[in-house]
Every structure is written in structure tokens, then in C-alpha cells.
Amino acid sequence: MINQSFYSYLLSILHLLLIIHSTCSNDELTTSLKSESTRTHWINMIFGSLVSMLIGILISSYINHYQLRDIKITFQSSKEELLNMYSRDIESRKSKEVKGLSNFIPLTPYKYVHIDETTSPIIAEDLIIQAKRTKKFTIVFHGDILSKELFIEIELIQKFQSIITRIEIFKNSTPVYDRIKQLLSVIIDASNTIQTWGDINKNLFHYKDYGFFIYDKLQTVRLIDIRQDFKLWYNATFSHSTNCGQIIDFIDIDGPLCSCSHRPYKSSTDTWSLWKAISYTFDENIYKTNSNIHECLAITKISKVIEEKWTGKQTLD
């Protein structure tokens, strides 16, 4: 509203100035013509002012509309990020108390590399070499958006040994800054396969301000949402029990009539958490240890199972 009044006011003043200017320059007109001319000028002035105000209102309404849309997007993204972050955090804390699950075991051994603003550029350069040799990656976003402690965790999926790197997000232009930007540019490339758990684009708003993050590039690559593929594989592999009320024409979807203990979700629109996916499939707990560097490895493990069309029995062998 402030914008609206301001633009209208500005345009009205501009119009009045033009009228005054033209009135002053007509001093040499005869007296008889002057009264007629003054009336016409007043009508023009009022009409002109109204038109100016209308244009002002239209321009400011247009600007307001887009500002409001941006605010809505910001609010929506923040809300979703917060919900995601806290539900994962609660599940992580709760899951430590769950008994009967074994420690998570990745399918391949891995090497871990932590990167923050103090890391030597040589370490990042070595990762760039490794990333160039890799075609498949898994990406997870961690952190606390309120304290601005944000991390990107990436697994470089290689045949015999994966490399997990956790990059701490920062703004200072330290020697490693450009190397990280280069590393992310090599990884987030249309020629690579990038796996995620859920739609990560919804949760990236707070990463947008960090230069090396190449937020825009991430919007252009095809991300494979393993969570969606997992739901299809799990429901087909672990069908409803024969006495389950949800069996309708042998459709494997989740539903409110389901009484199966091996199917934790009772609505077709429910989404699997990564922790539940691993615990129901493998009887393993990804949060048993304090480190959460297992999330990438867990997504990769599930992707492999789906890709190789494992049976239920294979997952427990």
C-alpha cells in the first residue's frame, strides 16, 4: 500500500509540473482567450491527474503482486525446510532408543572427507579428480537453518569404494572457496546421475545465498528421487498379508484398512522416511551411531536394491 500511494503521488506531481509549465509559457495569449484556456487547463489537469493516479496504482499493484509472491515462496520454503529438519531430527533421536535393529551396513566400503572454510584446496582438488571419474552421486542436505549451520553431503559412488564428502556451507572467500565451486560444478552436471531422497529442490531456499552452491544449476539437472522408486519397489516386494483388509484387486497401495505390521504407512499419499525405509527393509538403524554420514550410503543402498530388483529374502540375507 505504501508503494501504491507513493507511485500515484509521484506521477500526479509530475503531471502537475507539466501543466504549470505549459500554463506559464502561454502568458502572451489575449485576455478573452485566457479564461477559456484556463478552464480547459483545469479540466486537463484534473483528468491528467486521475489518469496518472490510475497508472501509478496499476504499476504499484503489479510490483506488489510479485513482491507478495516472493514472500509467499520464501515463507513456504522456510516452513517446509523447518518441518523436514525437525521431523528428521526427532526421528534420529527417537530411533536411537529402538531396540532389535542392528547397525547400518553399507553395500561398499567408504572414505570420508570433511570440507570447511579452513580445508586445504589440495584436498578439494583431489575430490575434483575423483568426481570427474564418477558418474553417479547421492546428495543429502543437513543442518540447522536457524543457526545457519548448513552442510551438503555427497557420495561419489564408485565400484569398490565410495567417497563421502561433507561440505560445510560458508560465505568467506577463503583459498578453498573456488575449488568447492568447481567440485560442485563437476558433480551437478546434466551428464551425471544424481540421487536424492524426496524433492530436495523444495528445501534449498536457504542455500541460495551462498555463491559456491550453484543453486541455479541444480534446478537444471534431473534428480532421481529414490524415495518414490522405493515406495513402488517396497509395496510390490512386501505385499499385504492375505488377511489384510486393504487387499483390493491385488493393488499394492497403502490404505486405511491395512493391518499389516510390515507396512508402516496407512495412506497412499504417505511418504517414507529414510530411517523407516532402512529399518523395515534391512532391520538396520541408520542413526544408531551419532554420526549421520550414513544417509547418503543408505539412499545408495536402497537405489542398488531397486536397480537390481532384490527380493524380500535377499534384503535379509
Binding residues for Zn ion, rule: CB under 5 A, are: 240, 244, 246, 258, 260, 263
By beta-carbon proximity to Zn ion, the closer residue of 263 and 301 is 263
By beta-carbon proximity to Zn ion, the closer residue of 81 and 254 is 254
By beta-carbon proximity to Zn ion, the closer residue of 165 and 279 is 279
- The Cα–Cα gap between 8 and 11 comes to 5
Contact 302, 281 (CB under 8 A): yes
Run of H or E residues at 57 = helix 31-95
Count other C-beta atoms under 10 Å from residue 215's C-beta: 17
Q: How far is the CB of 249 from Zn ion (least distance, A)?
A: 14
Q: How far is the CB of 227 from Zn ion (least distance, A)?
A: 20
By beta-carbon proximity to Zn ion, the closer residue of 254 and 295 is 254
- The Cα–Cα gap between 265 and 311 comes to 20
Q: Residue 161 has which C-alpha cell? A: 569404494
Q: How far is the CB of 260 from Zn ion (least distance, A)?
A: 3
By beta-carbon proximity to Zn ion, the closer residue of 281 and 300 is 281
**Cβ burial 188-208 (10 Å sphere, 16+ → b, else e):** bbeeeebbbbbebeebbbbbe
Q: DSSP for 112-150? A: EEEE-TTS-HHHHHHHHHHHHT--EEEEEEEEETTTTEE
Q: How far is the CB of 256 from Zn ion (least distance, A)?
A: 10
Q: How far is the CB of 237 from Zn ion (least distance, A)?
A: 14
